[in-house]
Amino acid sequence: MIPNDMHSVIGLNSELSKLGIKQLGDVLFDVSRAEVIEEAVRNGEGRFSASGAFVVDTSPYTGRSPNDKYLVHNGDPDLWFASGTQAMDMKQYQSLKAKVLAYLENRKLYVRDITAGADPAQKARLRVITDLAWQNLAAANMFIPAKEPVPFIDPDLTIIVANGFAGDPVADGLRSPAFVIMNFEEKIVLIGKTSYAGEIKKSVFTYMNYVLPKRGVLSLHCSANKGSRGETALFFGLSGTGKTTLSSDPERALIGDDEHGWGDDGIFNFEGGCYAKTIRINPEFEPLVWSAINRFGTLIENVLLDVNRVPDFDSSEITENTRAAYPLHYIPNYEPSGMGGHPEHIFFLTADAFGVLPPLARLDTDQAMYYFLSGYTSKLAGTERGLGEKPEATFSTCFGAPFLPLKPAIYANLLAKKLEKHHTKVWLLNTGWSGGGFGTGKRIALPLTRAMISAVLNGSLDEVPTHAHPIFRVSIPDQVTGVPQNVLNPEQSWTDQQAYTREALGLAGKFAENFKKYQASVPDSVSASGPVRP
């Protein structure tokens, strides 16, 4: 064992023994990022890029495995099992945990104590145990360093990652050899077979989504930044809709790119780093992220290197879901505190594959609850295992259904209370297609999206009149400087107006069908605020 000192050795020995790992091999505890990269090199776990980033291949698990996620039922009446998440009983869990711990005995392990939650009052103490060195680096990059010099006593959450352990679907009652199991009662996550680092990240998010709303703190799948006056903006959305790109604004301080809490004092980041999608990243349009992913200490997943070790960020040969994990301080204008005030503006990002939603529209509180619960977007190829090349329209509750362990109305009602209390304005922002659906139209240009966001944030739309979309009934600004009318009003970008109406009504019907499951848990005014039914 090679932790910091003898006191750490004794403390960590005791903690791992309590966990159930009796026979310890070598254990590296809280070593520097440089040292853990050296370990990964010695183990042959990856290669350096020309700029010094460490590059790994997680095939065949190059995205989350949504159908391999389990929650151990703890009797909580508020527990919710999202689509794909399966309940597991305690007996089944204990049996599998014993096998995982037995597998880890006498192996070289990498242990890191870190925290989630920049607000000291909401901080969660995390312990990540892995059998791959580079995953220890991923945890170091994505979360907040622990200030305590010795191992945590009884961490709030322990994540055990056994990449070399495959579950037995028959004997262990699993759907495949891979598994991600959350046990809130024992405060443990078990991850087996899959080495994709996003499973570690989203396990922490799931935990925060469980504990914080019970304290009146709203957990959010969003990025956040703030302007020179301290004004805060949030960007909700699923992977690939633009959270990281749009929040990385050279003119604003980045609070965080993916996961936040909204408490009594404002917004706070859960993380200390970013986990950015890199596919087809453009250094001209995304200079901050480009710089961050091309330096020593960054971890890159599933990107090909050419003969000169230069990453090919345009290649999707391994996966469309290429990723880079780096500390927040790699972004020059990051917010060191990880905190911001109550948001003045919230953007719901959606990549509309049908090309019928307006690129920018104002929502009232009822509509905000409707579109928040709906969480409409398109799944982009590679984000989850099994997706094909064509995006699929989907509804993901609160823009993060796979990570929500509580009933959706709990999050939506908290959101409504905070919107009303802090007079926050909410906008629907379509970063998807215009002039037709996927394969016919074109993706809305990033400079136009940035122009619309800037117009909202600088107040230039405060006095601009709006008009209601005839089907979706959201309020579209009559004009935005620099944005053509045929972009602001999507029907004008279609050559076939009847085809536009047909597609828009089709999507409206999908909204209505999806929202039926929420009608009993929200006021009638929320249900009535959705699109016109065909």
Catalytic residue numbers read 64, 202, 221, 239, 243-244, 258, 323
What is the H or E stretch that residue 125 is in?
A: strand 124-130
Interatomic CA distance for residues 322 and 305, integer angstroms: 13
The answer to whether residues 243 and 257 touch, using CB atoms and an 8 Å cutoff, is yes
Instruction: Write the DSSP string, 45-104.
Output: --EE-TTS-EEE--TT--SB-GGGEEEE----TTB---TTEEEE-HHHHHHHHHHHHHHH
Residue (of 415, 460, 108) closest to 267 by Cα position: 415
Q: Which residues pair with 169 in a beta bridge?
A: none
The answer to whether residues 252 and 234 touch, using CB atoms and an 8 Å cutoff, is no
Residue found under tokens 């003045």: 344
Interatomic CA distance for residues 62 and 76, integer angstroms: 33
The answer to whether residues 344 and 365 touch, using CB atoms and an 8 Å cutoff, is no
What is the SS3 assignment for 388-432? CCCCEEEECHHHCHHHCCECHHHHHHHHHHHHHHHCCEEEEEECC
CA-to-CA separations, 273 to 124, 130, 436, 503, 519, in angstroms, rounded: 16, 19, 36, 39, 37
Interatomic CA distance for residues 336 and 328, integer angstroms: 8
The answer to whether residues 340 and 228 touch, using CB atoms and an 8 Å cutoff, is no
Q: Which residues pair with 245 in a beta bridge?
A: none
Residue found under tokens 């993916």: 258
Residues found in the chain: 534
Q: Which residues pair with 268 in a beta bridge?
A: 261, 339
Residue (of 408, 407, 383) closest to 397 by Cα position: 408
Supply 112's token pair: 């890191």
Cβ neighbors of 240 (< 8 A, separation 6 or more) are: 277, 351, 380, 383
